[in-house]
Amino acid sequence: MAFLILPCVITIGTVGYHILTEWKWIDSFTMAMSNMGTMGMVADEWSVKVKVFSVLLFMMGILMFSYITSCFVGLIMYLSSRNWLVSAMTKKLIDGMKDHVIVCGYSKIGSVVALKLHRKLHGRVVVIDNNPDVEYLVSDKGVLFINGDACDKHVLEDAGIKSAKYLITALPKNCENVFVIIMAKKLSDNLTIISRMIGDDGGHVMEVMKDAGASYVVSPYEAGADKIVDLIV
């Protein structure tokens, strides 16, 4: 609606100047654009009708720009309030959950795990990821999402870590997963932590993760290799 008003006002100004002054269309258009938002030019030799029309066009331009601005402000406020409402609803749902699963990192592994658990646990899954674009992917699936750093204590608390039963770390770096394990263990002693290990360095990373507090450490590469071997042997 707001964008339809602009060409209408320009058309009125152009046609009005063309009829009142018999200027060429390009000159009428230029004058309309000049006087639509500001009193760009009012010549003494103009007739009273042209001067009055210029003032009216100026007032129409001011009203038009005010309306468009108010529409943009209203849209921004609506989107902001909607995001706040969604966040409030998510927090309320998480606060009412118990023995749920927290998945840190919506990676290739984390996304598959989160979606499968979401179906099997009837929605008792919360995903944490610092990529805001992930929210749209997760929300379409009906999964609860928190945009933030899983290494942040307050973010883990917002995910309901003190009432959660499991925490799965599927972040892209081993050091990040270790930090989340340490932080999560401090916040909840009864939490079962399952961590994804990246790469294979002779079990050193697995040992570090278990020492940090991980209940289980899973290497996708080893798990995939074991599955293939089991199919053959």
Domain extent at residue 223? 96-232
Q: Number of folded domains in the chain?
A: 2
* Rounded CA separation 129/108 (Å): 13
DSSP helix, strand, coil percent of the chain (3-state; round to 5):
60, 10, 30
Residue 75 has pLDDT above 50, yes or no: yes
DSSP for 74-85 reads: HHHHHHHHHHHH
pTM: 0.62
> Is the same domain home to 137 and 33?
no
Q: Which residues contact 60 (CB under 8 A, 6 or more apart)?
A: 9, 12, 13, 36
The answer on 70 and 129 residing in a single domain is no
**80 and 195 assigned to the same domain:** no
CATH number at residue 228: 3.40.50.720
The reply to whether 61 and 116 lie within a common domain is: no
189: DSSP letter: T
Residue 91 belongs to some domain of the structure: no
The overall average pLDDT reported for the chain is 83
- Specify the DSSP element, H or E, that contains 177: helix 174-187
C-beta separation of 205 from 230 below 8 A:
no
pLDDT band at 82; cut points 50, 70, 90: very low
User: By CB neighbour count within 10 A (0-12 exposed, 13-18 middle, 19+ buried), where does 163 fall?
Assistant: middle
For residue 137, what pLDDT band results from cuts at 50, 70 and 90? confident
Query: Would the pLDDT of 147 be above 70?
Result: yes
The residues, any chain, with a CB within 8 Å of residue 169's CB and separated by 6 or more, are: 104, 105, 150, 176, 177, 180, 181, 193, 194, 195, 196, 214
Based on the fold, state whether residues 109 and 224 are members of the same structural domain: yes
Q: How confident is the model at residue 105 (pLDDT cuts 50, 70, 90)?
A: very high
- Taking only the tens place, the pLDDT of each residue in 18-31 is 888 888 888 888 87
Residue the block writes with tokens 């973010």? 155
